[in-house]
Structure 1
Amino acid sequence: MKRSTFSLLLVLAAQAGAVHGELTDEQRNFFERKIRPVLVEQCYECHSTQSKKVKGGLMLDTKEATLHGGDTGPAVVPGKITDSLLIEAIRYGNKDMEMPPKGKLPASVIADFEAWVKMGAPDPRGEQVADAGNAASQWKKKDIDVVEGRKFWAYQPPKKSPVPEVKNTAWPRSDLDRYILAKLEEKGLQPVADAQKLDLLRRVTFDLTGLPPTLDQIQAFMKDASPEALTRVVDNLLASERFGEYWGRHWLDVARYAESSGKDINVPYPFAWRYRDWVIGAFNEDMPYNEFIRQQVAGDLLPFKDAVDQSKKIVATGFLAIGTKPHNERNPRQFALEVADEQIDTLTQAVLGTTVACARCHDHKFDPIPQKDYYALAGIFLSSETLYGTNGVIQNNQPSDLIELGRDSGMAPGFEGISASARADLARRMKQLDDTRAERQQEAMAARRSGKEIDAFRLLAVRQQTSELKGQINRYAEDGSARILAMGVYERRTPVNSPLFNRGEATQPGEMVPRGFVQVMFPSTPPQVTKGSGRLDLANWLASTENPQTARVMVNRMWRWLFGRGIVASVDNFGAMGEKPSHPELLDWLALRFMENGWSVKKMVREIVLSRTYQLSSQHAPQNFAADPDNTLFWRMSTRGLDAESLRDAMLSVSGEIDFYPPPGSPVSRVTGEGREAIFRFYQATQQPTRYRSVYLPLIRDVVPEALALFDFANPALVTGDRETTNVPSQSLYLMNNAQVIALSDAFARRVYDSSKDNPTRVVNAYWLAFGRAPTQQEILATRTFFSEYAQDAAKAKSAKDADITMYAWSAFCQALMASAEFRFLN
C-alpha cells in the first residue's frame, strides 16, 4: 500500500476518535502541554466568550467553537492541515488573517499545532465555558496542596497486605493467583479452564521471544510429560538471546527510540543504534532494573571497572539524547529548554508514570505538581550537555558533537574506515572549502560596506558543503580508521539553576528555582541538590526502594506486555487522569516482590508466566463476560494480536529466512556523502528489505517501515507503554499484495514442499510451522479442495508450466496461512 493511502487511513481513524471524544492519555497530555497554553496566552484575548469584541466571529475557548470556526469557515478540520484556517493563520500564509497579530509564533509551536491537527485535533474541553470569569483564569488551577496530594494512592509507597483468603483453595498455584481469584470470587465469578498445552507453548514463546515455537521446541515439549515441562521451556526462553531482543524492543517503545530527530527537519542520528544494542544486552544480562534506570540517567557519572564498563555506561545515557529536537530553532536558549522539556517528559512518564512536563507552562492541571517542581528538574538537565552528533547545515541551527569511546571500549565502529590517503584528501578538500568560505565572507562584508546586494546563496552553499564535509572527516581518525562514536550526556562544567519561565516562554524568565525533585514523590520535603547537575542524585533517587513509583510502574508494564492490559490500564500515567488499579494490593505485592528479588526482570517474568492466571485459556464465559466484558479481573487470557515485529519475524521464521546475526550498527550509520545525494541514500537505506529481526530495522521518525507502520507500531516520537491495536483492511491488503510478503510465501512454500515427497505430509508440516498444531480433518479436506481447484483454474488459464503451477499453488496456500487470523493472533 502506498504511504499516502496509509496516511489517509490514519487521519480518518484520528478523526473518528476526535468526533467520539475517545481521547488517549497521549492525546490529552499533548493538548494540555502544547495547545491549550498557547490558546490561552495568544488567542483568548480576542477569540473567547469573554473577549470585549470577538474578532471575525471566531471563538477558540471551547472544542465546539474551535471546530465551527468564524466568519471565514472552520478554524480546525481534524486531520486536514490545508483545510484548517487556524494553521494558515499561524503560519502567516495569508496577509489578511495573520495570528497572533503581534508576531509570528515560534516554528516549534507551529509544528505542535500542525501535529495536533494531524492526530485529529483531540480536545478534552467541554462545549461550554464553566463560568463568567476571565477565560484564562477559568483554566488556571487553584494553588496546589502538595501535602494533601501525597495521599493519592500512586504517591504512597507500596504496602504489604495479607494475601487474601479464597474459597476455591485448590485453584491457586501462587499468591499472585490468590489475589486474582479473590477479586473474582467477590463478584461471584470463577476463572475459565486452563489453556491447552500447545496453545500455552505458542503463547509463552511469543510473549518471551516474539517468535513462534520451532518444530524442535514443539516436539520436546510434547514429549515432556513431567510437571516441570513448562518451567523448562520458560527457563530456556529466558536464557535465549531472543528474549533481550524482544523485551528490549518493549523498552525501546517507552524510550521513544529512533535514529533521527523528527519534528521540523528529520536530521539523522547515525549512532542511536548503540543505545538500542545496550538495551538488548541489558535485558539479556538481566541487569537489575534499578541499575538499568540509574545508568540511563547518569551512566557517565557512575563508578566503572574498566574502559569497557565505562563505555557501556556512557552509551546508556543515549536514553536522554535520542529524543526529538527542533533543530531549526535559532534561539539557543529556546532550543535548550525544548531539549530539557523532552527529557523531563520522557523520563517521568517512563519511570514514574507521571506527566511532570504538563507543569512547564503552569501548575499541573490535574496532579499535585507545581510549576516550580518542573523547573527544579529543568535545572538538572540544563546543567547537562546532550551530545547527539549533527552537522550545522541549512535548517539545522543547533549542531552537536558526539562522544568518542576509544579503541579500548570493546565496541565496533558500525561503519567501515577509509585509507589514510583518502582521509588526507578529505582534509585537503576541507582546507580548500575553508579558504573559499573565508573569501566569500570577505566579499559579503565588502558588499555590505559599499551598499551592494549580497549573494547570500553562494555563502550559504559553501557553508553547507563545509559543514557536511566536516561531519564526514570527524568520522575517521587521521589514519583513516573509523572512530568509535556514541550519543549521550555529559556534565557541564558549571551547573545552573533554571528560572521559572512564565507560560514556558524563553523570553519571560522569572524567579530562580533551585535544582531538585518532584515534591509529591517524597514523604516530606525532598533533599536539595548540592553537587554538580544533580543528575546522579536524580538517578539514585529513581533507583531507590524509597521511591514510590519506579518498581510499581515497571511491574505494571510487565503485566501489560504479558496480558495485553495493565493492572493500571493507563500504563504511562498513574496520575489523576489515569486509570485506577484493578488490583491495587496485587500491584503493590508485585512491586515489593520485584525489589526483594533484586529488581530482576527475568525473575518477575518467570513468576508471572508460571502462574495459573497467565496459563488460563481464552475461552468465552457468558456470565463472566456479562459482569466484566473488558476482562479487567483477568478471568481469562484475552485474545491478542501479534505486534508488528512479531508478525514480521514470524513470517521470516516459518519461511526459514530469518537471520539472527545482523551486522553491527545500522544502515543509517553507514550512509556518507554530501548534499542531496546523501539525503537520498539516507532514506533509501531505511527501505531496503532485510532478513534481520525487526528490532534491527533502521527506524527513522516519520519514515517507519511499512511492515511496522501498518500494524500499530509505536510512535517513535512519544513514550509508548501501551500500543493501540487495530484490525483494518489495509493490513489484509498488505499481507495479500506486498512483494516481500509474497517472497516469504514463496520461501515458506519451498520449505514445506522440500520437507516431504507426499502432499498430505507437506500440508501437516505447513500447519505445524504456521500454527504450532496439526490440521483438523476438515482443514485437510479444505486444503485438498484448494489444490484441486487451483490446478483446474490454472489449466484453463494456460499461463504457466505444470511445475510453476505446483509452486504457485503452494505459495498461495502458505500465504493464506500467514494472512490468517490464527497466525496473527494469540489465544
Structure 2
Amino acid sequence: WLDVVRFAESSGKEVDVSAPNAWRYRDYVIDSFNADKPYDQFVREQVAGDLLPAATDAQWASQLIATGFLALGPKALIEQNPRQFQADLIDEQIDVTTRVFLGVSVACARCHDHKFDPIPQSDYYALAGIFQSTETCYGGVRSQRNRHPANLLILPVDDPNPSDTPMTPEELADLRTRRDEVQRQAAEARRTALRPNPAGTNPQQNQANQFLLDQQATQLTTRINSVDEAGRPLTVCMGVQDRDRPQDARLLIRGEIDQQAQIVPRGFVQVLAGPQLSLPQNGSGRLQLARWLTAEQNPLTARVMVNRIWLHLFGAGIVRETENFGASGPGPTDQQLLDYLAVQFVEGGWSIKQLIREIVTTRAYRLSSAWDQQRFEQDPDNLYFARAEPRRLEAEVLRDCMLAASGRLDLQRPRGSMISGFPSAILGPNGPVGTVMAPQQMQSAGMRAAATPGLEGAPGDAAPAAGPPARRMLQQGRFGGRFRQGQGEGNLFDASVNYRSVYLPVARGLLPRSLEVFDFAEPSMVIGQRETSNTPAQALYLLNNSFVIEQSEVLSSRLLQDVKTSEDRIKLAFQLVCSRSPTADELQASLQYLQSDQSGQTDDSAAVLARFCQALFATAEFRFVN
C-alpha cells in the first residue's frame, strides 16, 4: 500500500526537503492493516478523516494522520509561481486519488478531454475545485530553496517526535537569538553576492556559504516551531483541512495557468458518479467524495482493491494494469472471478484479512510452479493462473529474511524515523546537507555544537569529531542508540539497524542501498506492481555489502553456538536460509568446502562458516519463492 500511495519522507523533485512527520502516516497504515480496519472506512479516513466524527482524541488524531495520504506527494518547493505550484499540487492529488481507489487516470484530462475514457476536461476541474478548497498541510520553513512552506496539523494527543525535546524559556530565547544572528549573516552574504567580486575572492565559496547559512536558519526556525511558548514539544502531522471559503476552479485551456476559461462547479467524474450531486456551499466536498468512493453505487473501489490483493498473492492481477481499469487497459482475464471476489469483499464487511483467507485456501493458490507441458501449452502466458509463477522476494522481505536467519530481526517498531531527526533538511546523495542541531538535541545525542556561524561551541568545548554534523550524529549513537558504530560512511541511511525494513527511511532522492538495488518502488509515483530485475549490482551487493557480510558472520556465530558438528551446522544453515534440509549431494559438497577451506586450521572455522552462510544468502533459492 505504501508503494501505491507514493509514500516518502521528503519532497522530492529539484530540492529534496525532509518531511520529519511522514512516519506517522506509515505507522497508521501498518496499524490499520494489522487491525483489519474495514477498507471502506480506511478509504474515507484518508480522503476526509478530518471531516468524520470521532469518539475519542486518539481516534481524532488517527483520522487526521490518515489525511496525510493527500499531503505526501512530491512537490516542487523551488517553483517561483505560487499559482503553478498550487495547480501541480492539485493535479497530483487528483491523480493519486483516482488511480489508487478507482483505477482510472483522471489527471489525463488536465489539458484536454481524456483520449480514451469518457472523461471531459470539465470533470477534471470539477474535482480540482474540491482540492482547491482544501488546505494541504505538509510543513516546512520559507527559505531560498523552499518557497512554499505550509502549516502542520496539531494533534490532540501528547506524542511528539522523539527528536523534539523540551526547552526552558531561556533556552528558547537563546535559540531565537542564534537564529536571528544566522539570518543576519545570511542576508549579509546575499548582499555581498550582488557586489562586484574583489580580486582573489571565490564567488562559488560565497554561494556555498549562503546555502549553509540559509539551511542553518531554516533548521533553527524549525526547532523553535517544534515547541509551544512554554517550550513543550508539539505533536503534529501532515494532512489536509477544508479552507474557510470553498472555491470552484476555473478550467485552464491546455492546462496553462495563464489561460483561464469558465468556472466549473465542484463535482465528481460524471461517467462514474452519474448525475452531478450538489455539494455543500460551506465545505470542500471531500466528505461527499469519500462517501461516494465507498458507496454501493460505485463498484470500482472494491474491484480495484480485490485486484491489488490478488496481485500481491499471485504475482499478477486479474486486471494486469492495476491503475488502468479504463478503455485503454487490458481488461480482466476473468470478469466473473473479479466480480465475485468484489461482492464477497463488500458483503464480508470490507475485511481484507477475510478476503485473503478465502483466496489462500483455494486450489489455485496452492498450485505448484513445477513445469507442466500440458498446462504450458494451454496457457503459455499464464493469464488464467494455470500454475504458480516463481517470484523474487521484495527488497524489504529479502533484508528481513537475512535478519531472521541470523536471529537479529527486531520485531519492535522503532520510535519515529531516521529522517524525523533531520527537520527541514535538504537531502543530498549522502544524506542531509548543512545540518545543524539545537544544543539540547546535540547534548541528547552525545555531541557538542558544531563550529558554524550562529551556533558556535562554548569556550573550552571539546573539538568536534571529524565529518559533517549529520554523519557525526549517526556515529555517536543517534536514534536511540540503535545504530552500530562505524556505519556512517557513504549513504547515511545505510546504518546497520535490525528492525523490519518497512521502517527504513524512504527519501525520494536517497534510498537505503538494500532497497534501491532490489527494485524498490519509485516513491514519487503511484506504483501498483514493482519491477523485477536481475542485475550485476544485486550480485555485487550480496558479495560485498557490509550488511550482508555482517549477517553472515552473525549467522555463523549462531551455528557455532547452537550445534557442535559441521554436518549439523550445514543442516541448520539450510533450514534457516532455505527452509529445508540439504540433499545428500549438497551436504557432501558443503562438508568438502568447509574442510578444504580451513586448511587444517580450526581457528578459521568461524570465518569459513561465515563465507558459507554468505554463499547461501546469494543463492537464487533464497531470493525466490517457487
TM range (shorter): 0.7 to 0.9
Note closer, same or farther for the CA distance 1:527–1:601 as it changes in structure 2 (3 Å cut).
Answer: same
* SS at 1:579 equivalent: coil
Of 573, 577, 584, the residue aligned with 2:324 is 573
C-alpha deviations, 1:365-406, integer Å up to 9, x for none?
Answer: 111111111111111111100011111111211111211114
Cα pair distance change 1:537/1:402, threshold 3 Å = same
Instruction: Work out whether 1:428 is the aligned partner of 2:177.
Output: yes
Deviation (angstroms), 1:423: 2.1
Deviation readout 1:452-498 (Å, 9 max, x if unpaired)? xxx99899987765444222200123343321111000111111111
Residue 75 of structure 2 corresponds to: 325
Amino acid at match of 1:347: T
8 Å contact from structure 1 (residues 380, 516) kept in 2? yes
Deviation per CA, 1:755-810: give whole Å up to 9, x if none: 11111111111111111111111111111121122123xx6xxxxx631x211111
- Distance in 2 (CA, whole Å) between partners of 1:673 and 1:341 is 24
Letter in 1 for 2:235: I
1:546 corresponding residue in structure 2 = 297
Point out where structure 1 has 5 or more consecutive residues left out of the alignment.
1-250, 448-454, 796-800
Given candidates 731, 738, 754, the residue that maps to 2:538 is 731
Partner residue in 2 for 1:414: 162
Counting only pairs closer than 5 Å after superposition, residues 17-96 of structure 1 correspond to structure 2 as none
SS of the counterpart of 1:686?
helix
- Structure 2 vs 1, CA of residues 688 and 336 (structure 1 numbering), >3 Å: closer, same or farther? same
Q: Distance in 1 between matches of 2:48 and 2:622?
A: 42
Query: How far 1:318 sits from its partner (Å)?
Result: 0.4
Shift of the 681–564 alpha-carbon distance from structure 1 to 2, 3 Å rule, reads farther
| Corresponding residue of 1:58 | none
Whether the 8 Å contact between 2:103 and 2:324 is mirrored in structure 1 is: yes
Secondary structure of the residue that 1:254 maps to in structure 2? Answer: coil
Provide the secondary structure at the position in 2 that maps to 1:511. Answer: strand
Shift of 1:517: 0.4
1:294 aligns with 2:93: no
Cα distance in 2, alignment partners of residues 682 and 605 from structure 1? 43
TM-score w.r.t. length of structure 1: 0.64
Contact in 2 for aligned 1:278/1:315 (Cα 8 Å): yes
Does the 8 Å CA contact 1:299/1:314 hold for their aligned counterparts?
yes
- 1:692 Cα deviation after fit: 1.2
Q: Distance in 2 between matches of 1:725 and 1:256?
A: 18
**Change over 3 Å in CA distance of 1:518–1:621 after alignment to 2:** same
Q: Which amino acid aligns with 2:2?
A: L
Compute the RMSD of aligned alpha carbons: 2.4
Return the match for 2:384 from 620, 623, 633. 633
2:534 pairs with 1:700: no
Matched-pair contact (CA < 8 Å) for 2:19–2:423: no
How much does 1:677 deviate?
A: 2.7
Is 1:722 paired with 2:518?
A: no
Residues 275-325 of structure 1 deviation map (CA, whole Å, 9 limit, x = unaligned): 000000000111100110100000000000111111110000000001001
Residue 354 in 1 paired to residue 111 in 2? Answer: no
Instruction: Give, in angstroms, the shift of residue 611 of structure 1.
Output: 1.2
Of 481, 498, 502 in structure 1, the residue corresponding to residue 232 of structure 2 is: 481
Report what 1:751 is aligned to. Answer: 558
AA aligned to 1:712 is D
Distance 1:526 1:682, change over 3 A: farther
SS of the residue corresponding to residue 291 of structure 1 reads: helix
* Cα displacement (A) at 1:691: 1.0
Amino acid in structure 1 at the alignment position of 2:280: T
User: In structure 1, how many angstroms separate the alpha carbons of the residues matched to 2:610 and 2:212?
Assistant: 53
Give the secondary structure class of the aligned counterpart of 1:582: coil
Residue pair 2:161, 2:420 contacting (<8 A) in 1 also: no
* C-alpha contact 2:18 2:422 (8 A) present in aligned 1: no
Give the partner amino acid of 1:671.
F
Contact 1:641 1:824 in 2 (8 A): yes
Task: Give me the whole-angstrom Cα distance separating, in 1, the residues matched to 2:211 and 2:384.
Answer: 63
Rate the CA distance shift 1:261–1:461 in 2: closer, same or farther, 3 A. closer
Contact 1:552/1:587 (8 A) holds in 2: yes
For the structure 1 residues 604 and 472, does the alpha-carbon distance in structure 2 shift closer, same or farther, using more than 3 Å as the test? same
Structure 2 counterpart of 1:564: 315
Match of 1:496 among 247, 257, 260: 247
Alignment of 1:367-446 (within 5 A): 367-406=117-156, 409=157, 411-420=159-168, 421-430=170-179
**2: CA distance, partners of 1:386 / 1:308:** 22
Q: How many pairs are equivalent? A: 556
Q: Which residue of 2 aligns with 1:678?
A: 435
CA contact under 8 A between 1:369 and 1:520: conserved in structure 2? yes
Q: Report matched runs for 1:641-680 at 5 Å.
A: 641-671=392-422, 676-678=433-435
**Highest CA radius of gyration, 1 or 2?**
1
Which residue of structure 1 aligns with residue 494 of structure 2? 687
- Name the aligned partner's letter for residue 814 of structure 1: C
* 1:527 alignment partner in structure 2: 277
Distance 2:580 2:185 in 1: 70
- For 1:33, the equivalent position in structure 2 comes to none
| Residues in 1 aligned to 2:141 and 2:501: alpha-carbon distance in whole angstroms | 29
Amino acid at match of 1:611: T
Name the aligned partner's letter for residue 605 of structure 2.
T
Distance apart, 1:410 and its partner CA: 5.2
> Unaligned 5+ residue runs, structure 2?
196-202, 427-432, 437-467, 472-490
Aligned partner of residue 434 in structure 2, secondary structure:
helix
Contact 1:360 1:371 in 2 (8 A): yes
* Contact 2:141 2:424 (8 Å CA) reproduced: no
Sequence identity (%)? 45
Higher helix share: 1
Is 1:337 the counterpart of 2:87? The answer is: yes
Whole-Å separation in 2 of the counterparts to 1:728 and 1:437: 46
User: CA shift at 1:581, angstroms?
Assistant: 0.6
Separation in 2, partners of 1:283, 1:315: 15
